[in-house]
Amino acid sequence: MKLLLLLRAAAGTLCLVFLLLLLASGWALAAGYVPSEDEAFASVLYWRQAGGLGALLRGFHFHLSSALVVAGFAYLLLTFLADRHHERKAWWLGLTLYLIVIALCFTGFLLPMDQNAHWGTVVRLGIVETSPGIGPTVADALRGGPLLNASTLPRFYTLHASILPLVAVLLLALLLRSGTRWRPRAALYSATAPWLALALVALAASYLAAPHWPAPLELPADPTDSEYIPRPEWYFLWLFQFGKYVESAPWVRSLLLPVAGLGLLYALPLLRRRGAGFRIALAGGWCLAWSALTGLAVWQDRELPPTLMYEQAMRVQAGEQYQEHCYDCHGEDGSGDGPQTRAFDLDVPDLTQEKIWLETQVEEMRAAIRDGKGEDMPAFGRKLSPEQIDAMIDYLETQSRFETQSRTEQNRSKGNPT
């Protein structure tokens, strides 16, 4: 029992540290985020490409959210195993705060406005919509209509950045106050010093980990790409897997399971005390079911195409666009021997020559692709975005036959964006 209480105290300390760090980093990120369909992705991409504090904070914020989900679950589980869930007020406050954390993860998922954020939110709200009675109303209120639209992101952002954090802070204050007991100063110091040290270790580990595992970002959201397959966060995988077994009755997942599960959790302090064996069996059964469903989801997802981050996806997309727009003139590798070149005797430069990449500035290449050049090079400014043009230039350079310092990196070092 003492070990359980010790582990519970450690999990509670980590929950407190992680929650405060998430609130602080979230408010810092809000200073550079623009909650609009047109600029949200661009602001997140700027952090990713610029690096520095913005990229660090976003990685910090992203990974700490998962860490808080784990620590919060561990705290509630250890509270139940230690038979401390009969402290009704503390249990109910802690459980409600944990649900607010899940809601923060739910609303924050849309904010990057990349492909996974958009389509994942479409799927999640579709699940909410299958709940009989109130489901469609709640989904429409979150979306601002029957479909995702320009008002959806501001609504999610308001919930994620202001309303839910305020509720979390109030619940945290009530929870801390419910467990406060007067102690002499020396006793209070001896009781809190180990947990303060643990908090500092957690803070240092989070700071060191963030630069090495940047937060993911895919291509910008494309509402027309109905073939995209979104992937839920790891802690929602079990629910999505369970939904595959009740497809004929989706309300079982969206209504019956949440109501029954949350009802049981909130009712635990009201039930009569049971032995340690019963508590271990109940907790073990839940963990086994969660692990089995999550494992099945991961196993089945192995057949899905790999998830490409922004830079990888842009490179692949550039290759596809090259084949569509450029191959006929520039040929397979950019040497200028495409079928149209041979048929019409066009003057097409050989992009595999080293001197072209050493002597041509980034802006010259951008202008040639965007506005066209001479009589034979058409303009692609209406077909390709500035980001796609830069990706095309990088792709062409990668396809060249020589090895030298990247011309795009040279220009980046001079302050030219790519």
Residues 294 and 393 in one domain: no
Q: Average the pLDDT over 28-50 and give the result.
A: 91
Residues 155 and 190 in one domain: yes
Q: Average the pLDDT over 228-257 and give the result.
A: 90
Q: pLDDT tens digits for 115-128?
A: 999 999 999 999 99
Using a pLDDT cut of 70, give the percent of the chain over it.
Answer: 89
Residues 202 and 323 in one domain: no
Within a domain: residue 418?
no
Residues 296 and 326 in one domain: no
CA atoms within 13 A of residue 153's CA, in its CB half-sphere: 19
Distance of CA 263 to the CA centre of its chain: 29
Residue numbers of the domain that contains 368 = 310-413
Cα–Cα distance for residue pair 292/238, rounded to 1 Å:
8
Residues 120 and 212 in one domain: yes
Show which of 266, 301, 336 is a domain's final residue. Answer: 301
Cα–Cα distance for residue pair 230/114, rounded to 1 Å:
11
Return the amino acid letter for 183.
Answer: R
Total domain count for the chain?
Answer: 2
Name residues whose C-beta falls within 8 Å of residue 391's C-beta, 6 or more positions apart in sequence.
314, 315, 317, 318
Name residues whose C-beta falls within 8 Å of residue 305's C-beta, 6 or more positions apart in sequence.
229
pTM exceeds 0.85, yes or no = no
Please say if the pLDDT value at position 157 is more than 70.
Answer: yes
Residues 102 and 233 in one domain: yes
Q: Average the pLDDT over 353-371 and give the result.
A: 83
Residues 269 and 318 in one domain: no
Residues 137 and 245 in one domain: yes
Q: pLDDT tens digits for 2-31?
A: 788 888 888 888 898 889 989 999 999 998
Residues 235 and 315 in one domain: no
CATH number, domain containing residue 335:
1.10.760.10
